[in-house]
Chains A and B, each alone.
Chain A
Amino acid sequence: MKHIKRILFWILVSLFMIYVLFPIYWLINNSFKTEKEIFLFNPTFYPHEFTYNNYRTVLFMRAGGVNFMAYFSNSLIVAITALILSIFIGGLAAYGISRSKSRAVYILPLIFLAFSLTPPQAYVHPLYLMMKYLKLLDTKLSLIIIYTLFSLPLPIWFLSQYFKGIPEELEDAARIDGCTRLQVISKIVLPLSSPGISVSAIFVFMYAWNEFFLAGIFTSTLRAMTLPIGIMNFQQAHSISWNLTTAASISAIFPLVIIISIFQRYIIQGLTAGALKG
């Protein structure tokens, strides 16, 4: 009886794993197929004619305004700059919030959390007009500014909880020993909270790397277009080249997979910790 239960359990788990992993596997599988093999009426479950050419074509494509290298570098520049700004501004605010005794400050993280659940459509029209007025449309700067704003709730919510876990006595002791307030932050708080800061940095990076709606509105050319938009436009223009679209998708996912496989334990801790305090 116990044996049967165990077997049933593992069957259930394997079915679930197939469900979870199949779409990703399907992308990988098709990214290595030839164009001919993609369109078989009975799709093949592994590439019979294995080829790397899709990746080569996609990564070095320079035709018809498509340039995945440019999307890649735009995405990287935008995501990293937004990450730095968001963690810096948000981290300082989170520290202030966690240490302040004021009642009004206490509800700030909740306001930011509520903000992060509202549709971006409710902000985008004036922001678009603003960026148009400032002649910032279709620049990386506009995306950086906007991603910093929309990702700000993450570090504020997450780090303000994290900083509360650092005993204030440590800081008081450092102050008595002659540290200034900023030294307390850089020498005591920062080193102690580096896991929390890295997790929120990963979240902000992933937000900026994956964001689609705003990127589609604020960018229109290679100058600033990010990967999700690039891939979407490519698919619309070459709607049958699924071998190339899947190769491009896998290339875009690749950095994320590296990040989550290194930090998976911290990411899950971060996700659950954020939920707990809510």
Chain B
Amino acid sequence: MERMFKQWWRSDEHFYWMLILPAALVFVTLGLYPLLSTIFLSFRECILSQPWRGVPYVAFSNYSYFLNSELFWKVIKNTIVFVVFSVSIEFIVGFFAAWLLNLDTRGKSFLRMAILLPWSIPIVIAGLCFRFMYNDIFGVINAMLLKVHLLKYPVAWIGDNTYAMGALVFADIWKSFPIIAFLLLAGLQQIPTALYEAANIDGASPIQSFFFITIPLLKRTIFIALAFRTMQAVSFAFDIVYSLTRGGPGDSTQVLVSLSHKYSFQFMQFGKGSTLAILTLLVSFIFGSVFIILLLKAARQ
């Protein structure tokens, strides 16, 4: 027995497997098992505040409860609006930032530091900061807009149905554009400068070389960055929503993850919360797979 073990142990491959084992165990017990049991819970009724009811199997009734509710479709719409607008504007701002970081300008390390800042701070602090700036009575955004006469009277940015989603998107752009900037910077650094020099000699304008060199060579990175950010925006929107608007006013900024949190940890309905979590997972995979398909298509060309 001992000899068998020693022999098994002597193989390098087995040694490497042993190194992977702890991580795999953590992942299986605390990742895979909870994921499977969330799926299991989503088919059950589990109300923590009423433990005497147990966890009866209810088949698809949690799912049909949401698919037939108006709130759920509103929340889906909010999630899509939030993801599409924040990621696409983040992409533009992030592209600009990546371009700046890739230039050899003066004050480069200051630039780098400045762009790292929004990325590094807790999302809730960013949310609270914007909550403070959006305030309708003493907020700085209203004061500035009033001063330059863009507004006639103060607006309650996060207290008003019409503006709340825009305010949320604006705050999220500030917090999350750096990550897209860094992903794109990685791609930009890969493009050999000789290509631009050659294009310049051939008489191409900077705009032409942007569209005929940068974009085609960056395609792969762009799709990766978009896949990454859209999935993140679906899955991790909770912090910014909770700290800024708490889903309000009147569910106008409620997204899937915050609704799931509301069902699970305010109403203590773990079954319905799990259902929403699984639906969020699906939505995030749909968003991600769009860009992964585009990526694979681009790779095949």
Please report A residues at the B interface, Cβ cutoff 8 Å.
Answer: 13, 16-17, 19-21, 23-24, 26-27, 30, 38-43, 89-90, 92-93, 95-97, 99-102, 105, 108, 112, 115, 117-130, 145-146, 148-149, 152, 156, 181, 206, 209-210, 212-213, 216-217, 227-228, 231-232, 235, 242, 245-246, 249, 252-253, 256-257, 259-261, 264-265, 267-268, 271-273, 275-276, 278
Q: Do A212 and B122 form a contact, CB below 8 Å, given A43-B143, A122-B38, A123-B31?
A: yes
Residues on A with beta carbons closer than 8 Å to the beta carbon of B121? 24, 210, 253, 256
Q: Are A249 and B125 in contact (CB under 8 A)?
A: yes
Q: Which one of A20, A123, A212, A228 lies within 8 Å of B114 (CB-CB)? A: A20
Q: Are B33 and A126 in contact (CB under 8 A)?
A: yes
Q: Are A253 and B125 in contact (CB under 8 A)?
A: yes
Of all chain A residues, which has the CB nearest B113?
A264
B5 on the A face (CB < 8 A): no
Residues on B with beta carbons closer than 8 Å to the beta carbon of A23? 118, 126, 129-130, 133, 174
Q: Bound complex: CA of A148 vs CA of B30, how far in Å?
A: 10
Q: Are B113 and A261 in contact (CB under 8 A)?
A: yes
**Of B63-71, B83-91, B197-205, B280-288, which stretch is located at the interface?**
B280-288
Q: Which one of B124, B132, B225, B228 lies within 8 Å of A242 (CB-CB)? A: B132
Q: Tell me the minimal C-beta distance from B200 to chain A in angstroms.
A: 15
Q: Tell me the minimal C-beta distance from B119 to chain A in angstroms.
A: 9
Please report B residues at the A interface, Cβ cutoff 8 Å.
Answer: 12-13, 15-20, 22-24, 26-27, 30-31, 33-35, 37-38, 41, 46, 96-97, 100-101, 105, 109, 111-118, 120-126, 128-130, 132-133, 137-140, 143, 147, 174, 179, 182-183, 185-187, 189-190, 221, 224-225, 228, 231-232, 234-236, 238-239, 242-243, 257, 260-261, 264-265, 270, 273-274, 276-278, 280-281, 284, 288
Contacts A23-B126, A30-B132, A121-B264 given; 11 further ones with Cβ under 8 A? A20-B174, A39-B138, A93-B19, A96-B18, A117-B235, A125-B273, A149-B27, A212-B239, A260-B116, A264-B116, A275-B182
Q: Tell me the minimal C-beta distance from A205 to chain B in angstroms.
A: 11
Residues on A with beta carbons closer than 8 Å to the beta carbon of B18? 96
Q: Tell me the minimal C-beta distance from A172 to chain B in angstroms.
A: 10
Residues on B with beta carbons closer than 8 Å to the beta carbon of A152? 23, 26-27
Residues on A with beta carbons closer than 8 Å to the beta carbon of B128? 231-232, 235, 245, 249
Q: Bound complex: CA of A96 vs CA of B33, how far in Å?
A: 23
Q: Tell me the minimal C-beta distance from B109 to chain A in angstroms.
A: 7
Q: Bound complex: CA of A119 vs CA of B237, how far in Å?
A: 9
Q: Are A115 and B261 in contact (CB under 8 A)?
A: no
Q: Are B182 and A122 in contact (CB under 8 A)?
A: no
Q: Are A145 and B30 in contact (CB under 8 A)?
A: yes
Q: Which one of A96, A145, A253, A265 lies within 8 Å of B19 (CB-CB)? A: A96
Of all chain A residues, which has the CB nearest B182?
A271
Interface of A is mostly: helix
Q: Are A117 and B228 in contact (CB under 8 A)?
A: yes
Interface of B is mostly: helix
Q: Bound complex: CA of A231 vs CA of B125, how far in Å?
A: 8
Of all chain B residues, which has the CB nearest A20?
B114
Q: Do A181 and B15 form a contact, CB below 8 Å, given A119-B234, A119-B236?
A: yes
Q: Are B224 and A256 in contact (CB under 8 A)?
A: no
Q: Are B117 and A126 in contact (CB under 8 A)?
A: no
Q: Are B137 and A41 in contact (CB under 8 A)?
A: yes
Q: Are B34 and A123 in contact (CB under 8 A)?
A: yes
List of 10 A-B pairs having minimum Cβ-Cβ separation, nearest first: A96-B19, A93-B23, A272-B186, A119-B235, A121-B277, A210-B122, A96-B16, A126-B34, A275-B186, A271-B182
Q: Are A264 and B112 in contact (CB under 8 A)?
A: yes
Q: Tell me the minimal C-beta distance from B269 to chain A in angstroms.
A: 10
Q: Do A90 and B23 form a contact, CB below 8 Å, given A23-B129, A43-B138, A119-B281?
A: yes
Q: Are A121 and B97 in contact (CB under 8 A)?
A: no
Residues on B with beta carbons closer than 8 Å to the beta carbon of A108? 20
Q: Which one of B22, B113, B261, B265 lies within 8 Å of A260 (CB-CB)? A: B113
Residues on B with beta carbons closer than 8 Å to the beta carbon of A209? 122
- A-B contact list, 13 entries, CB within 8 Å: A16-B96, A16-B97, A38-B138, A93-B19, A99-B16, A122-B35, A125-B38, A126-B34, A242-B132, A246-B129, A249-B129, A259-B120, A271-B183
Q: Are B120 and A260 in contact (CB under 8 A)?
A: yes
Q: Bound complex: CA of A19 vs CA of B178, how far in Å?
A: 13
Q: Are B189 and A13 in contact (CB under 8 A)?
A: no
Residues on B with beta carbons closer than 8 Å to the beta carbon of A259? 120
Q: Are B20 and A146 in contact (CB under 8 A)?
A: no
Q: Bound complex: CA of A248 vs CA of B247, how far in Å?
A: 24
Of all chain A residues, which has the CB nearest B128?
A235
Residues on B with beta carbons closer than 8 Å to the beta carbon of A217? 265
Of all chain B residues, which has the CB nearest A19?
B174
Q: Are A125 and B277 in contact (CB under 8 A)?
A: yes
Q: Bound complex: CA of A39 vs CA of B139, how far in Å?
A: 9
Q: Tell me the minimal C-beta distance from A240 to chain B in angstroms.
A: 10
Q: Are A123 and B35 in contact (CB under 8 A)?
A: yes
Q: Are A122 and B281 in contact (CB under 8 A)?
A: yes
